Amino acid sequence: MRSLAALGLALFSVTPVIAHAQDKTVSVGPWTIATSSKADRFDSCTMSRSANELEVTFVRTRDGLLLLLDSSKWKLDRGKAYEVTLVAGSRSVPAKALAETKSVTIALADRAFNERVRTANILEVRGEGATLSVPLNGSTAALERLETCFERNSRAGAESNPFVASNRKP
């Protein structure tokens, strides 16, 4: 009898957590927008999708916009910074792709280039060995939602009641 009561209590307490986690994502075209936390504090908003065996994620942090590319087929030198050229429409910028074993992170620091990404159909990441094509269909609305997500959750700041979950929304 005690084990049934404990199980019921466990299920009751887990249900709001699951529901709250589901509230943290929203779809905008092919993109999924989500909030990300570290130690129960808002950290960033992400915008992700899969395309051509590539996982594509834009991350909006306090430091700006990052592009994460991940492929299970890659065998990269962890810690290495690969020289790449990013191309969106008629604009291109040099960048560094910081590697993990199956992924790279690229800081998108050029504001004019980032505006071009909003309206381009494809983002090319040109490396020495290949050019990766990242489809950007639906990215105009998704990038707006990403920015809104970040602004809304950044302003939330300190919670007035530490015993109530924050209401983070993508």
Q: Output 3 or 72, whichever has higher pLDDT.
A: 72
Strands (E), 64-167: 64-70, 81-88, 91-99, 103-108, 122-126, 131-135
Note the helical H segments in the chain.
2-22, 111-119, 139-156
User: What is the distance between the alpha carbons of residues 46 and 87, in angstroms, rounded to a whole number?
Assistant: 21
> Which residues are 123's β-sheet partners?
88, 134
Q: Summarize pLDDT for 122-163 with one digit per residue, the tens.
A: 999 999 999 999 999 989 999 999 999 999 888 765 455 555
Q: Summarize pLDDT for 85-125 with one digit per residue, the tens.
A: 999 999 999 999 999 999 999 999 999 999 999 999 999 99
Residues 6+ apart with CB under 8 A from 5: none
Topology of the domain covering 25-156: Immunoglobulin-like (2.60.40)
Q: Are 168 and 37 in contact (CB under 8 A)?
A: yes
User: What is the distance between the alpha carbons of residues 65 and 52, in angstroms, rounded to a whole number?
Assistant: 22
